[in-house]
């Protein structure tokens, strides 16, 4: 799992303007989120998320995932039935990839990005297991781990199946980069439903955050999901409008090298969308693709040596770290002028980079951080949470 998770997160989250999945473990000061989520209840259909749907017919809720991973060859359809109505409902099991009784009381999730969503819905107490719990940064869930209420079930592609079965989960929420994960098939053979979460395949920041509506029906928390997402959406759109007031449009470099290849967000990616919404001039904004670009250091230097600001230099925490890693980094103007902003210095108690865990559900904070870096005059009193000046 260590090598798989490190490589996967490196190559995937490189496009999230960063590169590594794990930071060195150490005690760190408590981080305080800059925005509380206290919104009035409201109701709305999916607006930004394109990779799943939720349809309710009578007592049955059908959740369909269209893209659990890129280029998936089939949709995955899950039928959710209220526990108290199960005896009176008959379904064709062959029509669904899983049939789940709700509300779920015992769940296992497999990505740290799932943790904030459980907490936002107020159902973190239902979590009974997680692969490599040391990756979890949230203080609320770490307290459950420390109390022995959340068990470490091994590594994601090598989950301890016996332990998982002993925990008696009613549902496993998984993620995969393809359809070849034998672990999930083994879990399903034990008659434990597995559903795929594909939020990371969404093309926009708000689209990823809207996957809280994917989780909600499993816990009968639809109203709470609407409440939470409405506030996030409002915060994000207000920040986007605020960024339009900027009178300058700095040029932006992103990403860093891995084994002599420079990875940075393609122009149609959700990571590039953050920069566009922050009213920045992203140098590769016109490039095609929703993933990452793989470039040579020479081509990046030729195009971005004089960039104004560098957002997301990977795992690096200090300018000295970058200099030691590659002499080429020092040739860029943002390095020379100390205009580099990184997420690597916001870590949890066990050393996990909080960006990887929390950012997908809080795009409003990410956008404000980037606006603060690019247009500090727009948010003079704002304290960044993820993206902070490199040390």
Q: What is the pLDDT of residues 244-296, one digit of tens each?
A: 999 999 999 999 999 999 999 999 999 999 999 999 999 999 999 988 999 99
Note the pLDDT of residue 34.
59
Sort strands 76-82 and 60-65 into parallel, antiparallel or unpaired. Answer: antiparallel
Instruction: Using the predicted structure, report yes or no on whether residue 73 has a pLDDT greater than 50.
Output: yes
pLDDT confidence bin for 240, thresholds 50/70/90: very high
Percentage of residues in the chain having pLDDT higher than 90: 80
Q: What is the pLDDT of residues 133-172, one digit of tens each?
A: 999 999 999 999 999 999 999 987 789 999 999 999 999 9
Q: Is the dihedral of CA 211, 213, 216, 218 positive or negative?
A: negative
Note the pLDDT of residue 4.
38
Instruction: Using the predicted structure, report yes or no on whether residue 30 has a pLDDT greater than 50.
Output: no
**DSSP codes, 330-353:** GGSHHHHTT-EEESTT-B-TTS-B
How many other β-carbons are positioned within 10 Å of the β-carbon of residue 67?
A: 18
Note the pLDDT of residue 5.
41
Instruction: Using the predicted structure, report yes or no on whether residue 11 has a pLDDT greater than 60.
Output: no
Sort strands 309-311 and 251-254 into parallel, antiparallel or unpaired. Answer: parallel
Note the pLDDT of residue 136.
96
Residue 38 backbone dihedrals phi, psi, to 5 degrees: -130, 85
Q: Is the dihedral of CA 225, 227, 228, 229 positive or negative?
A: positive
Residue 248 CB burial class (10 angstroms; 0-12, 13-18, ≥19)? exposed
Query: CA dist 14 to 162, 259, 288, Å?
Result: 34, 13, 17
Out of 1.20.1250.20, 3.40.50.1980, 2.102.10.10, 3.40.50.720, select the CATH number for domain 31-234: 3.40.50.1980
Q: Is the dihedral of CA 263, 266, 269, 274 positive or negative?
A: positive
Report field, pTM of the whole predicted structure over 0.75 = yes
All structural domains of the chain with their residue ranges: 31-234, 235-389
Instruction: Using the predicted structure, report yes or no on whether residue 44 has a pLDDT greater than 80.
Output: no
Enumerate the β-bridge partners of residue 102.
82
Enumerate the β-bridge partners of residue 109.
173
Lowest mean pLDDT among 182-191, 206-215, 228-237: 182-191
Looking at residue 28, what DSSP letter applies? -
Sort strands 261-265 and 292-295 into parallel, antiparallel or unpaired. Answer: antiparallel
Q: What is the pLDDT of residues 345-371, one digit of tens each?
A: 999 999 999 999 999 999 999 999 999
Q: What is the mean pLDDT of the chain?
A: 90
Least Cα distance to 370 among 259, 236, 247 occurs for 236
Q: Are 31-234 and 235-389 equal in CATH topology?
A: yes
Note the pLDDT of residue 15.
42
* Radius of gyration for the chain, computed over Cα atoms and rounded to the nearest angstrom: 21
Note the pLDDT of residue 302.
97
What span, in angstroms and rounded, lies between the C-alpha atoms of 53 and 64? 5
Asked if residue 268 lies in contact with residue 297, where contact means CB atoms within 8 angstroms, the answer is no
Instruction: Using the predicted structure, report yes or no on whether residue 21 has a pLDDT greater than 70.
Output: no
Least Cα distance to 25 among 155, 158, 142, 180 occurs for 142
The 8 Å CB, 24+ separation contacts for 225-231 are 225/120, 225/121, 226/41, 226/42, 226/43, 226/44, 227/37, 227/39, 227/40, 227/41, 227/42, 228/37, 228/39, 228/120, 228/121, 230/39, 230/42, 230/44, 231/37, 231/38, 231/39
Asked if residue 224 lies in contact with residue 213, where contact means CB atoms within 8 angstroms, the answer is no
Note the pLDDT of residue 7.
39
Q: What's the mean pLDDT in 37-56?
A: 73
Least Cα distance to 206 among 188, 228, 223, 173 occurs for 228
Name the residue with tokens 């007592």. Answer: 59
Note the pLDDT of residue 158.
84
Q: What is the pLDDT of residues 308-336, one digit of tens each?
A: 999 999 999 999 999 999 999 999 999 99
* Architecture of domain 235-389 in this structure: 3-Layer(aba) Sandwich (3.40)
What span, in angstroms and rounded, lies between the C-alpha atoms of 171 and 21? 26
């Amino acid at each position: 799992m260590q090598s798989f998770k490190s490589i996967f997160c490196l190559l995937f989250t490189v496009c999230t303007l960063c590169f590594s999945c794990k930071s060195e473990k150490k005690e760190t000061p408590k981080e305080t989120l800059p925005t509380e989520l206290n919104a009035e209840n409201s109701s709305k259909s999916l607006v930004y998320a394109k990779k799943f749907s939720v349809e309710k017919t009578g007592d049955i809720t059908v959740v369909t995932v269209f893209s659990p991973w890129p280029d998936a060859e089939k949709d995955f359809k899950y039928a959710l039935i209220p526990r108290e109505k199960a005896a009176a409902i008959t379904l064709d099991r062959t029509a669904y990839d899983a049939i789940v009784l709700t509300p779920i009381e015992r769940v296992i999730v497999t990505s740290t990005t799932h943790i904030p969503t459980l907490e936002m819905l107020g159902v973190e107490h239902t979590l009974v297991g997680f692969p490599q719990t040391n990756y979890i940064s949230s203080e609320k869930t770490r307290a459950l781990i420390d109390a022995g209420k959340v068990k470490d079930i091994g590594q994601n592609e090598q989950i301890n199946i016996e332990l998982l079965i002993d925990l008696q989960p009613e549902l496993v929420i998984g993620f995969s980069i393809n359809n070849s994960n034998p672990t999930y098939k083994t879990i399903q053979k034990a008659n434990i439903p597995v559903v795929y979460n594909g939020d990371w395949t969404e093309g926009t920041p708000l689209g990823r955050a809207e996957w809280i509506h994917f989780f909600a029906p499993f816990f009968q928390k639809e109203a709470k999901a609407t409440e939470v997402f409405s506030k996030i959406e409002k915060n994000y759109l207000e920040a986007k409008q605020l960024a339009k007031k900027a009178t300058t449009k700095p040029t932006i470099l992103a990403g860093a090298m891995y084994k002599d290849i420079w990875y940075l967000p393609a122009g149609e990616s959700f990571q590039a969308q953050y920069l566009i919404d922050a009213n920045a001039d992203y140098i590769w904004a016109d490039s095609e693709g929703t993933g990452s670009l793989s470039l040579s250091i020479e081509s990046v230097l030729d195009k971005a040596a004089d960039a104004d600001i560098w957002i997301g230099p990977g795992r690096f925490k200090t300018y000295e770290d970058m200099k030691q890693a590659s002499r080429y980094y020092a040739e860029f103007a943002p390095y020379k002028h100390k205009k580099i902003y990184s997420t690597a210095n916001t870590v949890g108690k066990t050393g996990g980079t909080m960006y990887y865990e929390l950012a997908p559900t809080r795009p409003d904070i990410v956008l404000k951080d980037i606006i603060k870096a690019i247009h500090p005059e727009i948010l003079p009193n704002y304290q960044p949470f993820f993206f902070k000046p490199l040390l």
